[in-house]
Each structure stands twice: as C-alpha cells, then as structure tokens.
Structure 1
Amino acid sequence: MDKEKLRKRALSFVSIPADFKPIIEEYAQGENGEGEAMFSWANEEKDKGLTINLDLAGNLTKLSIDMDEDRDFNGDSLDVEERKERAEQFLLSHYPDALSDLTFYEKEELGQVFRFNYERMIMNLPLKSSGCFIDVDQVGNIVTFSYKVAGHIPEIPTTLISKEKLIEHEQNRLDFKQTITNLYTIVHDVEEDDLRLVYEPEPSFMKYRADILTPTLSIIHDEAVSETYIPLPAPSNTTKQKDLSIKEVVGITEGMEIIREVDMGEETGVVWRDRNWKMEEDDLSISGFFKNRSEDTVKAFISSKTGQVRSFMWFKERSGDLKLTREECLQKATDFLQMILPDYHRYLQLIVRENEEEVDDFRKTESFSFHIHNGKGVPVELEIVIVAVNRETGQIDHYSGPSFDMEQLRQIPTEPVISKEEAKKIFLSHLNFELAWDKDYDEETESNILVYQACDKYTRTPIRYIDAMTGVVITAKDK
C-alpha cells in the first residue's frame, strides 16, 4: 500500500480525539519491498499521544495510546481473565491464526494495566524478539500492542553441554572486582534505590553456546579502548554551587523561554528555546518531528531531591572569536565542575583514551570525560561525568553529571566486610545455568541460537552482585 492508503487504514483502527493533531507520518520501504509506516497524533500541551505502526501490507504491528492518568474512574475493573480475553480478541481480530503459532507465556501488572505476553515457543522456551504483548486497562481498552513474526525458526541442537561442565569452567576462571553501584528497584531485586559497595563477578554476563562441548562465549565483544585515569589537582577556584541559579548554570539568556517542563519523578526535564523561534516548514517525518522538538533548544534535567542540575545540552549553536586550546578548555571544564560539584577533584579522574589528545582545528568543542571513584580508588560503576567546552566561546555546551547526590558517595563504607574469597563462595553456591534462545550475533541475517545463561538457582534470575558488607546475593528483578 502507498502512504495515503496506509494512513486511512491506520485511522480505521482507532478514533483520534478532536484535540489531537498529527505529528508524525513516516513511510519507509527497503530494497526487498519490506518496510513500515508510522503515524502519530498528540496533544502536546497535555503530553498525551497515540501512535500506530503498520507493515506495508497494512497489518498492525504496533499500537501505543498514552493513558489519561488523571481521569476519574468509578466503575468496576475487569478481572485478569476478562482482560486476557479482551487481549486475545484484539490479537485474533488482526491476526486470526496467531494462536496457532503463539502461546500465552506470562502476564505482568504494570500500574493500571495488565500486560499479556504471547511467545513463539521452541523446546518450551520463548524465541528472542518473536511474538507479541498486549496491555489492557481496567475497562478493557487496548492501550499498547506489539507484534513481531519470527524471521527464522532455529533448529534444535542434537547435543548439549552439561551444566556441571559450565559451573566447573566458571569456578576456574571466575574473579570479582570491588565496585560501587547504583541499585534500582526497577532493575534489581532490592527494596529501595540505593548506592552500595559490592563485588561484581567477572565476567559479569555469563552466556554460552549450548551445543558446543568446549564452553564458548556466544557473544564476542569488541576489544576495549585503552584508557588511563589522570588525578586532578585541587582547584584554586572557590566559587560555590549555591551562588548560581539553574539558568546561570545552564547559560540561559533573557531571550529564551521554557517550552516544555516534564515531571519525571526523580528528575524534572526542562526545555528552553528563543521566544521568536518558528519551524521553517511543516514536516511530519520522524526527522521533522525531532527537529521541531530539539532544533535550537537547550535541554536540562534537574534533580527533584536537591534542585540541582544533573545534566544539560545545548542544541542551539553559539559562536565566538576565541580559539581555545584543549588545555585551556580543560581549565574551563574544571572551573565549571568546582561550581557545580565542590571538591570534585577528590572523586573524579580525567579519562584519557588513545589518540584523544590529537588536535583538530575544525572541532568546535572539546569534550572531557571523568571517571568517578570513592576517594580511595574504588570506582562507581557506569558513572561518568562529561563536560564539553565550546572552543569559540569558552561556554559549557554539554554537562552530564552523576546520577546520585555526591553526599551519598561520601557515606559509603570504604572497606568491605566480606572478602573476595567469601564473595566467590557465595556466588558459586547460588550459581546455576538455564537454557534460553538468544540472538545469534555471528549471523548476518536475524536468527536465534540456543544458549546457557547463568542465573541464581533460587530466583532463576541473573546474579548481578554480592553485597560487600553483608554477603547478600543481588539479582536482577524478575519480570
């Protein structure tokens, strides 16, 4: 179907509210005739929207309807089985033969909705990225739908490696590193978000091809870029964080106004733009949508707890007559850090990568990355501070700070109670392996391969860490 026929077909699936307007109409077709069309409508003032994706034959592949969480609901909610029945009715109305290929796998409660997952099963295991999920609200409305057909059905291996061999293999090569990590309740099986001193297993993700008797990693990662960490000298600048407003930290000028402000729970997202800015032309493509949302803007995230700037990015070009060297830009970056993260030099180290200091006279910004540690050399996992300095203006065009309050880091114990040897014993006493289908990254075309992936023998979820103070096993959250 052409774009206009697909748009009319999309409109036949849903009723578009009168206060919604079209924001995306995208049509993409590949060399072999495959492709997708995407149509979105929204009320941007209320931050509500509706999106439909169709394949080029007009089949519904995705549906997303933002729920009105503020609406009054006084009626009786449908029970789980009634909602499941609505989900299957919807699925069969679009794919009449779906349940001959797909099997109901699990349900999840996601706030006001229940999600029902239907999977293509081989060896009683779900294929990766194959099947569908359907979200149903209290009154039976379908608010989210996603459907993907398996491109290739894998063959079942005739020989499988034994779990005992895998555990023995891990026992001989397993190591642990001491680190500090941010634990999140949505990711980890913990009672509250928390910054903790832990032991992380190395390798952290244990996954093996199931049909090769010599244990072989199913995914070969690219070699890491060589990095060195350079300590930072104590600053002479004594500017305090409290002396600056949010606008002053970000660099917002009088000619700019807030065009969006979104409460995201732990953070508030704020977007500024010049008051007189106008879109040059109506463009409903995806690139046009992002241009309308981002061109000439400044975006920042503010901590809801502290009211301090967590990060910001200038998408609006700023030019000047300066020609700062990398060394001069580094001084600008560290001056900024002293304003926003007092005593930063105690916890940050400059990351220097191979060939990073090569001069590029045409580069408009110099970007610096900083490794975070606890002041005693123990790293904070996955946390990097980034500062980008405009060489022409000396202003900060991008800042990305820690996702936590630095006071939390100061309160973390510096010495573990549990030794590395004890952590290894605890880990191995919980270690098990389970079969699963995973993407075969060695193949050019999309396909699946049977793997063994490590898990906790009690929760059947991946083991992420051992608490360095208590010895508690910290696993991934069970979906």
Structure 2
Amino acid sequence: MLKEHLRKKALEIGNIPPHYELEIEDFDEKQKTRAYYIWKDRNHPEKTVTIELGGDGSLLTYSRNDCPGSDLQLSDAELKLTALRFAARHRPLTFMKFTFQAREERNGCIRFIYTKKVLGRPLPDSGFFVDVTESGFIVQFLYYGDKGEAPVPETFVDQEKVISHYMSGLTFSLVYDVVNFEKTPRLVYEPILPAYSYPAGEDDIVPDQPFCEDRNESAKPLPALEHKREVSIDELMGFTADMIQTRRRDLGDEIGTTWRKGAVPERKDLSIESYFESSNKNTMKMKTDKKTGKMTAFKSFIEHEGPAFYSAEECEEVALQFLYKLYPRADEFFKMNPLKTDGRGRFRYHFSVWHRDIPLRFGAARILVSPVTGLVEAYMAPDIDPEQLEQINPVPAVTIEEAKSAFLSDFHLQLEWQRDFTPSGNEGYKLVYRPVYPPYIDAHKQKKKRFY
C-alpha cells in the first residue's frame, strides 16, 4: 500500500501529463525510507520529470526539463515568493528552520538558496534550494534538511597560532596548470599546505595528517615497448565489426557514441538498477574530440567471466600499446605511476603528464586493462593535449621569493562550519579555520599587485 500511496503522491506533486510514461520506479522495499521516480514524454523522450520522496511522503528532490515557453518575466521579489511557496507547500516550516543564503543565476534559471545558520555562518548541506525560470516555472528543488548539532567552542584558538601552523611548512612546486577555465595551460607555482582546516576550538584536536603530498613524486619514465605489434585501437578495446551504433550525442566540444553487441536486453522491472543494466549491458561508450578526432574517453560494459589469464606485465604491454597508439610521442610527455587494481582485479595504469621534468598539475591518461581478456576496458584522456606544453617556456620569470610574497599578501583564514561525525557516529558539524589563498602563482607574469 505504501508503494502505491507514494507513487500517487509523486504524480500529484509533479502534475504529470497523461501522455508521460513511468520510466523508473525505485522503491526501498527493506528500509522504506525513499522512493524515486522518472517520467518521460512518449513523443519527446528528452523531456522528463524526476521526483524523490521520503518514506513519509515528504519531497526530497524535484526536477523537470519540460519547461513551457513563455515571454513572461517576473520580478526578483515575485520569483523568490514563487520559490518559497513551492518549498512551503511541500516542506512545511521551512520559513522557521532556514534563512536566505544566496541568489544565483544558473543555466537560464534563478536559484534561491536557504540554509540553517549558527553564529551567522551557514551549515553545509543544510536547508534547500529552488530553481525557477524568469516566468515563474519551478524546474528544480532539492531539500537537504536540518542534520546534526553544531556546538560552539567555549574558547577559540588564536588566529596567529593557526597562521603560524600553516606557514611553518609552506613550500611551492613548479607545475603546468589550466586555470580560470582557459584552454591553454600556464607554468605556475602551486602552494603546498596541510590538506585540512584547523579546528577553531581550543580543546579540539588538530588532525594528525601529512602535508599535501607530491602527486607525481613516484612517477617513472615509460618503460620501453618490448613487443611492438601491428594492432589497432579497436582490437585493443575488443571492438568488433558486428557492433551497432545505437546513440550519437553532441556534447559541445566532443561527440558521444554508444555501440552495442547483440540485442537490447529486456528490463526486469522499473528500478534504477534494471534501467542501467538494460541501457549499458553489452555496450561500449566513447567520447571523441570534434577537432582532432582523437578519443578522449572510453568504457566497455561487456562482461567477461573467468580466471585471470594475463599477467600484470602482459596487461602493461597492452596499456602501453594503447597509449602509444593515441600519442606516438608518449615517452616525451608521460610518466608511469605505481600500478593499482580495482575491486574486480583489473589493472589500473595511471600515466601522469610531464614535460621537461615539470608535471601537469591535474589530468592524466588512465587506462584499465582486464587480466581475463587482456583488453582495455576503460580510458580517460588527460585534460589537455600534452603537446601544448611544448609552447610554454619552462624557465620561470618569477622567483620563489616573489611567489611567496604574492601568496602571503592574500593568505587569510575564514571561520566556517565543516561536516563532522560525533564519537557515536552521528552526523554533526565542527567550527574550523579554513585557509583561503590563491591556488597558484603565475610563474611568468611579473605584476606588482597580482600574480594570478
């Protein structure tokens, strides 16, 4: 009865049109704490309505992309009132629990964010937000709620002590990085600091954690290919001629394609698990750069059962063959990191990007090889084409002393709440000093005020 009751309530909340069909119905039969639904337009499958309810019928998430066209433009005050009415209708007492935090513009919509505040500072993952179009159509709602206690310290740590803690081991690493959403990387100094925020309470224990480690310190030059084979990318992935393209999507700078081997399996039920099993089983999915035609991502969902037949060394040869097929000059731009395995025993090869002994801060080539088949089952390209690094002067024009001076001029502490867990395992919050500082200092720009 509960399952039918929740479905009926979701239909009412979403005001689901009669020509929409239920695509996913996922109900927690054991805990009975949540129910998740997705309806889609039969005539336009890209139009969907998503609703998640708690076991008591309370609305947790609401999302739809079937917004009707309208030239109506409401004022900010009217939009805010529309958002609050929606929240109050589906989550009573929101006015009493949460306060206005921010207004943001996202994807053509206005987002109104409400949180719970203690000491005038918001608690992370508390409250709710509502997205509304300029015409007043609600397109998204997410309810976080009011979780855990936020105890205020009796005495606070002196900020100078905290700053001294961070400065005592401050170092800088010279790296390449893509900053400010630019497409061309720069040579920058990356500050190395402790990877945690300092507890604000005098009686709280400072985390016993190491400083940020050098992500690439154990990387080694690529080993030589012992057995160069005339093998194609398709063969290394196990791509066969009988596979049929079932989907092609424009992803902006990339094209996404899906290929399937055999017929589409029938869905067992309307659960999320069944949906993804039907969508993914016996498929290969890949992304290709529009300009270069080079593969940027790949994943195989074709399962192969059986004992491990290929050794780590043999699988390494496969990964190297794959990398060199994509990057013929791979030995000039990549180094190999220590081997790891995933939960299914597959080998994970991580190739960090380097040029002239300077690493790329983020982004690497990641290749997953199965010891059962000796095939590449997943690939993720670096964030940039490594050859771009050849255009950058590896010699910095800014000294480390200048970089440190620029860094210190903008370093400060911010008092804020951070998610925490009590000794009993319950969720809560802890007040901390979070260091705020520039994430990099440009190693080539010599400006009097800013280096970033």
Q: Is the structural similarity TM-score above 0.5? A: yes
> Using the alignment, how far apart are the partners of 1:214 and 1:392 within structure 2?
50
- Over residues 44-94 of structure 1, what are the superposed CA-to-partner deviations in whole Å (9 max), with x where a residue is unaligned? 9643322111111111111011255xx754x13222222111101111112
Q: 1:41 aligns with which of 31, 39, 42?
A: 39
Which one-letter code corresponds to 2:140 in the other structure? T
Closer, same or farther: CA 54–220 of 1 in aligned 2, 3 Å: farther
Q: 2:132 aligns with which of 123, 127, 136?
A: 136
Structure 1 partner of 2:440: 465
Closer, same or farther: CA 410–117 of 1 in aligned 2, 3 Å: same
> Using the alignment, how far apart are the partners of 1:447 and 1:80 within structure 2?
34
CA drift of 1:224 comes to: 10
**Aligned ranges 1:347-426 → 2 under 5 Å:** 347-353=333-339, 365-374=346-355, 376-391=356-371, 393-426=373-406
Residue 278, structure 1, aligned to residue 265, structure 2: yes
- Does the aligned pair in 1 maintain the 2:195–2:211 contact within 8 Å? no
**Aligned ranges 1:93-242 → 2 under 5 Å:** 93-185=89-181, 192-203=182-193, 205=195, 207-212=197-202, 216-217=206-207, 228-233=218-223
CA drift of 1:418 comes to: 1.5
Q: Secondary structure of 2:395's partner?
A: coil
CA drift of 1:221 comes to: 9.3
Equivalenced residues, count: 447
CA drift of 1:365 comes to: 4.6
Closer, same or farther: CA 325–227 of 1 in aligned 2, 3 Å: farther
Which one-letter code corresponds to 1:262 in the other structure? R
TM-score (norm 1): 0.83
- Over residues 400-427 of structure 1, what are the superposed CA-to-partner deviations in whole Å (9 max), with x where a residue is unaligned? 2212122322223212222222211111
Closer, same or farther: CA 214–420 of 1 in aligned 2, 3 Å: farther
Structure 2 partner of 1:26: 26
Which one-letter code corresponds to 1:22 in the other structure? L
- Does the aligned pair in 2 maintain the 1:319–1:393 contact within 8 Å? no
Residue 268, structure 1, aligned to residue 255, structure 2: yes
Question: Which range moves more in the overlay, 377-386 or 109-118?
Answer: 377-386
Q: Secondary structure of 1:416's partner?
A: coil
Q: Secondary structure of 1:128's partner?
A: coil
Residue 257, structure 1, aligned to residue 253, structure 2: no
- Over residues 319-362 of structure 1, what are the superposed CA-to-partner deviations in whole Å (9 max), with x where a residue is unaligned? 89994333232222222222111100111122125xx59xx9x9
Structure 1 unaligned segments of length 5 or more: list them: 186-191, 457-462, 475-479
> Using the alignment, how far apart are the partners of 1:473 and 1:66 within structure 2?
42
State the percentage of identical aligned residues.
31
Which one-letter code corresponds to 2:72 in the other structure? D
Structure 2 partner of 1:341: 327
Q: Secondary structure of 1:447's partner?
A: strand
- Over residues 283-305 of structure 1, what are the superposed CA-to-partner deviations in whole Å (9 max), with x where a residue is unaligned? 21121122122111101111233
Closer, same or farther: CA 219–333 of 1 in aligned 2, 3 Å: closer
TM-score (norm 2): 0.88
- Does the aligned pair in 2 maintain the 1:109–1:115 contact within 8 Å? yes
Q: Secondary structure of 2:84's partner?
A: helix
Question: Which range moves more in the overlay, 3-12 or 20-29?
Answer: 20-29
> Using the alignment, how far apart are the partners of 1:384 and 1:301 within structure 2?
16
- Does the aligned pair in 2 maintain the 1:273–1:298 contact within 8 Å? yes
Q: Secondary structure of 2:139's partner?
A: strand
Residue 447, structure 1, aligned to residue 422, structure 2: no
Question: Which range moves more in the overlay, 250-259 or 157-166?
Answer: 250-259
- Does the aligned pair in 2 maintain the 1:365–1:389 contact within 8 Å? yes
> Using the alignment, how far apart are the partners of 1:415 and 1:225 within structure 2?
21
- Does the aligned pair in 2 maintain the 1:166–1:215 contact within 8 Å? no
CA drift of 1:470 comes to: 1.7
Structure 2 unaligned segments of length 5 or more: list them: none
> Using the alignment, how far apart are the partners of 2:387 and 2:213 within structure 1?
35
